[in-house]
Structure 1
Amino acid sequence: MTVTQITHHDLDGYGAVAIVGNHVDVARVVHVPRYSDVGPVVEEELKRLSKTDASETLIMTDLGLEPVAVKFLKSFATMNRKRAEDARHRLIVLDHHASSIDQLRQHGVEPVDETASPKRFDFEDPGVVVLIDETCCATKMAHANRALYAAREGEDLTALVEAVDALDLWKKERPTFAGGLMLDEVFWDNVANLVPVGHPWHDRFVVALLRAVSGLIDEGLPPAEIETRVAALRRQVLDKLLEGETEDDRTLTTRMRIARVLARSDVLFRPLSDGTLISFGLDSGTFQRVSDLIMDRGGAKRVCNVQRTGSLSFRSNDETALDGARKFRGGGHKDAAGGKLPAGSAFSLADAIAQVEPILNPPPPDRSASPFAALKDWKG
């Protein structure tokens, strides 16, 4: 059965990815950095699942159930009950936000057992399991409730679970809190600037690094000692990912080696109608290196990157970057310029394309809509 996971873009969200992936193969992970992005993400997922023939499993971790998410849960259950019994999907929600309980109650969904921990909420569909536990993080919930989705026993990741739990609940009195801080530092230092979200290697890279660091925590190494070893751990993770790559050059830095892989990706970049390649959410340093490699090999003459905050960066080798930026109230150099989306933000590559394409490449005017169109063939 195909498994998809939607999770929060923080240490606890990625910790849950590590735990779920330890027990079952996950086909796709969707990271949600802002709770305001949950709505568009789950709406797209509902559309996709309603059209699939085969049964799938959707696991949601650490998202916080705001009204739009509760609406999704109800819509999912309604949609699922209409499907043939052997084609019904499974939905597993593992969350630990107190506000989620409040939102469910406001929408008429009460706990099955008020005294239970975690609290389970009934959506009149046995394929929908919604658990809320305020006493632990989502990573620990994924571990404790792995029987809901596990296809294998997996490795012992107790050190990672306990470190993330102490950090996420901010339990400074626990011996595992220092390890949680260490994991959090490593996470934020490496989650966005090397293998970006959206690339098939992203979760493999970040999770492997977190697991390697938690292994040192389990050995009892102090944070200062672990810090000195992170670069070597990161290199070991990359060596394994690039094993067998004929174009890999181990004399280069980690970022340089990864940039070569990203430049060949058909996932991170999409062509616009004028041939410009567009990407979403790339770190500035990564975009600079990758765009240069793409243009060097003739993949495009102009490349554009859109950030969640709505800023755009253009790079070109034919002096058209500035032309593109000017259409977005921007400026800069002929081959390196930037601008801003009119909407002020974007939540995905598809959203970025939908906003950039009509401005960068506006459709020709519809002459038939002109008030003078009727006079075109008139002869006086």
Structure 2
Amino acid sequence: MKNKIIHHLSHIDLDGYSCQLVMRYTPYKTFNYNANYGAEVRQKLEMILENITKDKKAAIILITDLNLTSEESRWLNGEVYKMNDKKMDITITLLDHHGSGEASANKYKWYFLDTQRCATKITYDYAKENFDLDEPEWMNKFVNVVNAVDLWKQEEVENFEYGKVCMRLVTETRELNKIMFAEIDNNYKLSLLLEATKYINEENAAILLDEKIHSIKKDFFKEDKNDTLDNLSTKFIVKLLGDARAEKTIYYKGYRGYLSYGVGNTSIVGNGFLLAYPEYDFIVDVSYRGAMSLRANNKVSVAQISKEWSNGGGHPNAAGGRIIGFKEQYRYDRVKKQIEQVINDKEAVAGDLEYKKEEV
């Protein structure tokens, strides 16, 4: 089994990320994915199946802290069955504690449900038995911290209070974007939790960690000199955007643009990107609900682009609008496909109008 690659899908809260932190200490090559409930689960599972198919290697699909609906379980079980029927070697293991998954747990052997332990504790116990866990000194204590806060065991005062701070360490960590920068964002959150384990046995540990959060975050982004968290994270994000130029470049009427999704803070990040990469004429950030924020640096009027794309408007270097009919996505490739369809439609209309004008 050690030759198998693990594709690990987990929830986006403390319990979910802590499951992935535990699995870091197994000898398996692992790819992490994260999702909230709803359509995101299905899209991330589709991504996992696509990656396994491309990789053509034996794999374990590990799902933690997420209960699948009966429909999702039936679909996933069927897809894996079809892949194995083609001589692939794929298994599913689901470790969860939400009672709403009982119907699926009763039907599928791969669905392990235990409502008495948080998912991190289930994963920890399962990994010790099945995944050759190389357990560090702090892990048992940390698992009990997560269990106390996730199951709201207020009577375990020390663990509960420390768990609350760890919970905030994850939920209020929004500097990166889990769709645009999935791997880096996951590593960021796991790195913060790993740093949190250093204070777990200290006196007044919860207070100490609470006071350390800001500096822990800054240390992740810091490359050389110190600066504010905003400036450090902006510089970091601009570099990430730049590194992904090949995938995220778009074109409109001969102008070169950059498409980001859900990054936000366009005035700072967008302008920072345009200064760092002057070969780009504009940048557009689309929110999860289809709102656009566009920035330029005197090379093209984004007010005009926004007007043509969505009847929006603004200033030549700063504009906004909303894509009508935009469907929220949890994969960047599907966002880009939607926006490129908008661009193609607008360019086709413009081309048709020009043709008719010449015809007259």
Bucket of the pairwise TM-score, normalised by the shorter protein: 0.7 to 0.9
* 1:80–1:305 distance in 2 versus 1, CA, 3 Å: same
1:261-319 residue CA offsets vs partner (Å, 9 max, x unmatched): 3323334861123322112222x23x443322221132522112222233222222134
Measured after TM superposition, the shift of residue 222 of structure 1 is 4.3
Measured after TM superposition, the shift of residue 334 of structure 1 is 2.5
Q: Which amino acid aligns with 1:146?
A: A
1:200-233 residue CA offsets vs partner (Å, 9 max, x unmatched): 4322221121122233233242433322222222
Residue in 1 aligned with 2:15?
Answer: 12
Counterpart among 151, 162, 165 of residue 179 in structure 1 = 162
Q: Distance in 1 between matches of 2:140 and 2:305?
A: 50
1:302 aligns with 2:285: no
* 1:208–1:44 distance in 2 versus 1, CA, 3 Å: closer
Counterpart among 328, 349, 356 of residue 332 in structure 2 = 349
* 1:217–1:11 distance in 2 versus 1, CA, 3 Å: same
Q: What's the C-alpha RMSD, in Å, of the aligned pairs?
A: 2.9
Aligned partner of residue 23 in structure 1, secondary structure? coil
Cα contact 1:331–1:339 (8 A) shared by 2: yes
Measured after TM superposition, the shift of residue 24 of structure 1 is 4.1
* 1:338–1:207 distance in 2 versus 1, CA, 3 Å: same
1:272 aligns with 2:256: no
Cα contact 1:182–1:223 (8 A) shared by 2: yes
Q: Distance in 1 between matches of 2:12 and 2:286?
A: 18
* 1:325–1:221 distance in 2 versus 1, CA, 3 Å: farther
- Among the aligned pairs, what percent are the same residue? 18
1:255 aligns with 2:225: no
Which has the larger share of helix? 2
Q: Distance in 1 between matches of 2:287 and 2:351?
A: 35
Write the mapping of 1:98-117 to structure 2, written as runs, cut at 5 A: 98-105=99-106, 109=107
1:28-49 residue CA offsets vs partner (Å, 9 max, x unmatched): 3222133232122223333443
Aligned partner of residue 348 in structure 2, secondary structure? coil
* 1:159–1:238 distance in 2 versus 1, CA, 3 Å: farther
Q: Distance in 2 between matches of 1:215 and 1:2?
A: 29
Write the mapping of 1:350-365 to structure 2, written as runs, cut at 5 A: 350-362=333-345, 364=348
1:170 aligns with 2:145: no
Instruction: Tell me the number of residue pairs that the alignment of Structure 1 and Structure 2 aligns.
Output: 337
Aligned partner of residue 58 in structure 1, secondary structure? strand
Q: Which amino acid aligns with 1:255?
A: D
Counterpart among 33, 36, 54 of residue 57 in structure 2 = 54
Residue in 2 aligned with 1:218?
Answer: 201
1:81 aligns with 2:84: yes
Cα contact 1:328–1:339 (8 A) shared by 2: yes
Q: Distance in 1 between matches of 2:267 and 2:130?
A: 41
Q: Which amino acid aligns with 1:364?
A: A
Aligned partner of residue 326 in structure 2, secondary structure? coil
Q: Distance in 2 between matches of 1:366 and 1:355?
A: 19
* 1:336–1:31 distance in 2 versus 1, CA, 3 Å: farther
Cα contact 1:194–1:255 (8 A) shared by 2: no
